[in-house]
């Protein structure tokens, strides 16, 4: 849906901004211009910013699909959330948060960093694991914005609302004057919520999503696929989206009851069908997600999180 805002323009990525691209925002505050989460791909980003000088790049979190185009704006200052600012330029931390350290150890992290440092490394089939933009877009140390505080980008006001769960530092830019929230990876996709990095948290994802839904906004823009939706549509689709978590949990319980050993659950694909697990990152995220769902069995009440 196309909606006009005073200071905010939506930059759609190719293929409905499906992962590993995302929908980006151009915030034109008059004397200051920012791009939020430049993951829409070089072509769309260059076209959208052809006539402006981009002063700021703002990242909601450190994931590839939200930072991949940072390097396209070498003259801009990069801003990151307080919990993930170390990602610039310390990819060791990224390797920890994403789950590489948990599954492949310190050697895996070191190997990954040398892979992305080179523009010639061969690519993985289903994830942006070895993309060189990881390296290019994390070279500049970032400045830190403050959560929950009004931030003036020229004449545009934005509040970075923390929404931990997807990652620890993940947040949603809220534009109170526009009545707009950029919900990023609270994206309403049929795949469902993603919390498969070592720093993801299922109960946190649910609680944060419900808080974001309560913001006083008429429009919600997702980072992938759904795009711009009205408040009613967002609220209407939210339960279906969150319910995917319960469906995964129910499937886990069924598999365990049928005699599948916990360590074999990833072979059944709780999040990712086995054919995608030939990709080392997909296999890694499947195992971490299964671990989190197994942990939920110890604390089942955290799934039901009433407003
Ligand atoms: Zn993300």
The pLDDT-based confidence of 302 (bands split at 50, 70, 90) is low
Query: 281: part of which helix (H) or strand (E)?
Result: helix 280-298
Q: In this structure, are residues 157 and 175 in contact, taking their beta carbons and an 8 Å threshold?
A: yes
pLDDT for position 2: 80
Q: Tell me, in angstroms, the distance from the centre of ligand 1 to residue 132's CA.
A: 18
Q: Tell me, in angstroms, the distance from the centre of ligand 1 to residue 63's CA.
A: 5
pLDDT for position 303: 63
Would you state the structure tokens that stand for residue 99, as one six-digit string? 């789950």
Region at 47 (left for phi over 0; alpha for psi -120 to 50; beta for the rest): alpha
Longest C-alpha distance within the chain, in Å?
63
In this structure, how many other beta carbons lie within 10 angstroms of the beta carbon of residue 257? 8
pLDDT tens figures, 147-200:
999 999 999 999 999 999 999 999 999 999 999 999 999 999 999 999 999 999
**Average pLDDT score, the chain:** 96
Q: Tell me, in angstroms, the distance from the centre of ligand 1 to residue 187's CA.
A: 10
Q: In this structure, are residues 5 and 180 in contact, taking their beta carbons and an 8 Å threshold?
A: yes
Q: Residue 283: how many CA atoms within 13 Å on its side-chain side?
A: 12
Q: Tell me, in angstroms, the distance from the centre of ligand 1 to residue 256's CA.
A: 29
Look-up of token digits 């319960």: 246
Query: 109: part of which helix (H) or strand (E)?
Result: helix 100-117
Q: Tell me, in angstroms, the distance from the centre of ligand 1 to residue 259's CA.
A: 34
Domain residue extents for the chain = 8-102+138-234, 244-299
Q: Tell me, in angstroms, the distance from the centre of ligand 1 to residue 19's CA.
A: 9
Q: Tell me, in angstroms, the distance from the centre of ligand 1 to residue 37's CA.
A: 10
| Residue 4 in this model has a pLDDT that exceeds 80 | yes
Q: Judge if the upstream peptide bond of residue 20 is cis by omega within 30 degrees of 0.
A: yes
| Residue 128 in this model has a pLDDT that exceeds 80 | yes
Domain 8-102+138-234: which CATH number of 2.130.10.10, 3.40.50.1220, 2.60.40.1940, 3.60.15.10: 3.60.15.10
Q: Please state the pTM of the whole predicted model.
A: 0.95
Q: Tell me, in angstroms, the distance from the centre of ligand 1 to residue 67's CA.
A: 10
Secondary structure class of 28 (helix, strand, coil)? strand
Mean pLDDT of 196-206: 98
> Kind of pairing, strands 24-28 and 8-11?
antiparallel
End-to-end CA distance of the chain: 29
The pLDDT-based confidence of 299 (bands split at 50, 70, 90) is confident
Q: Tell me, in angstroms, the distance from the centre of ligand 1 to residue 263's CA.
A: 26
| Residue 306 in this model has a pLDDT that exceeds 60 | no
Name the DSSP class of 262.
G
Sequence length of the chain is 307
Q: Tell me, in angstroms, the distance from the centre of ligand 1 to residue 61's CA.
A: 7
């Amino acid at each position: 849906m196309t909606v006009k805002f005073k200071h905010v323009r939506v930059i759609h990525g190719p293929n409905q901004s499906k992962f590993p691209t995302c929908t980006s925002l151009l915030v034109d505050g008059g004397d200051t211009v920012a791009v939020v989460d430049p993951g829409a791909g070089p072509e769309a980003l260059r076209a959208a910013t052809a006539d402006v000088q981009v002063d700021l790049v703002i990242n909601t979190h450190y994931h590839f699909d939200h930072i991949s185009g940072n390097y396209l704006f070498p003259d801009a200052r990069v801003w990151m959330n307080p919990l993930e600012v170390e990602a610039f330029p310390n990819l060791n931390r990224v390797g920890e948060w994403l789950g590489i350290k948990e599954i492949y150890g310190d050697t895996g992290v070191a190997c990954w960093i040398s892979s992305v440092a080179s523009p010639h490394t061969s690519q993985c089939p289903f994830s942006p694991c070895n993309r060189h933009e990881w390296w290019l877009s994390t070279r500049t140390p970032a400045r830190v914005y403050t959560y929950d505080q009004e931030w003036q980008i020229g004449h545009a006001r934005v509040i970075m609302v923390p929404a931990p769960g997807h990652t620890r530092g993940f947040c949603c830019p809220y534009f109170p004057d526009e009545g707009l929230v950029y919900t990023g990876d609270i994206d309403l996709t049929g795949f469902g919520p993603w919390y498969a990095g070592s720093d993801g948290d299922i109960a946190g994802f649910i609680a944060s999503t419900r808080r974001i839904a309560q913001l006083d906004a008429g429009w919600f823009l997702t980072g992938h696929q759904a795009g711009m939706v009205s408040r009613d549509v967002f609220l209407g689709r939210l339960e279906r989206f969150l319910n995917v978590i319960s469906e995964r949990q129910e499937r886990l319980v069924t598999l365990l009851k049928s005699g599948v050993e916990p360590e074999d659950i990833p072979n059944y694909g709780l999040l990712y069908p086995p054919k995608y697990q030939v990709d080392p990152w997909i296999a890694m995220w499947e195992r971490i997600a299964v671990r989190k769902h197994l942990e939920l069995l110890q604390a089942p009440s955290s799934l039901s999180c009433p407003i």
